[in-house]
């Protein structure tokens, strides 16, 4: 019970806290790059894999990323911390990825694991997918160990995310 009370108190303090420092327009713009790369990648896949679950999941993931970027734009341009734009990531993004994962089971007759594997292990796609996988592992590490309100940590995360999403996009395109 004490943990719930402590968490509630931290959330209340965060809502009343000043906006994070160092969140600039350049950071908000840099946050748009991974969203753009993911949007292109997922659009290519959505054309090939006609699944309502897949497309809805993609929409939620893109919406979550856009709202997070919007949070940074509001901080950079208005100096306000609209925490809902940031906190929604905990719900929308996992929900979107869950729907994407569920689509693989629900619509399994619409895709071929063998065809996807052939594409993924062909060169140069394999190199880009391996780099993308390494980036995802790094992002998982950063999510557990960095403070999301720290500008330096955000730059680190956004650069990693941008490179990761670019590698995955290139893997899909090649």
Q: What is the pLDDT of residues 102-135, one digit of tens each?
A: 999 999 888 888 888 898 999 999 999 999 999 9
Q: Domain range holding 115?
A: 2-173
Q: What is the pLDDT of residues 28-85, one digit of tens each?
A: 999 999 999 999 999 999 999 989 999 999 999 999 999 999 999 999 999 999 989 9
Under 8 Å between Cβ of 154 and 24: no
Structural domains counted in the chain? 1
Q: What is the dihedral of CA 162, 165, 167, 171, to 10 degrees?
A: -160
Please compute the mean of the pLDDT values over residues 18-33 and round it to a whole number.
87
Where does the pLDDT of residue 17 fall: very low under 50, low under 70, confident under 90, or very high at 90 and above?
low
């Amino acid at each position: 019970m004490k943990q719930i009370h402590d968490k509630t108190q931290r959330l209340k303090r965060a809502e009343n806290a000043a906006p994070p420092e160092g969140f600039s327009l350049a950071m908000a713009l840099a946050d748009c790059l991974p969203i753009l790369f993911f949007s292109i990648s997922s659009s290519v896949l959505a054309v090939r894999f006609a699944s309502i679950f897949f497309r809805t999941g993609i929409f939620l993931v893109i919406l979550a990323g856009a709202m997070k970027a919007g949070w940074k734009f509001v901080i950079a341009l208005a100096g306000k911390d609209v925490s809902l734009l940031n906190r929604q990531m905990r719900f929308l993004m996992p929900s979107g990825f869950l729907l994407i994962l569920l689509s693989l089971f629900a619509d399994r007759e619409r895709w071929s694991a063998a065809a996807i594997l052939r594409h993924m292990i062909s060169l140069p796609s394999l190199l880009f997918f391996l780099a993308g996988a390494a980036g995802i592992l790094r992002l998982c590490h950063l999510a557990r160990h960095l403070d999301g309100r720290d500008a330096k940590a955000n730059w680190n995360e956004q650069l990693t995310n941008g490179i990761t999403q670019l590698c995955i996009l290139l893997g899909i395109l090649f």
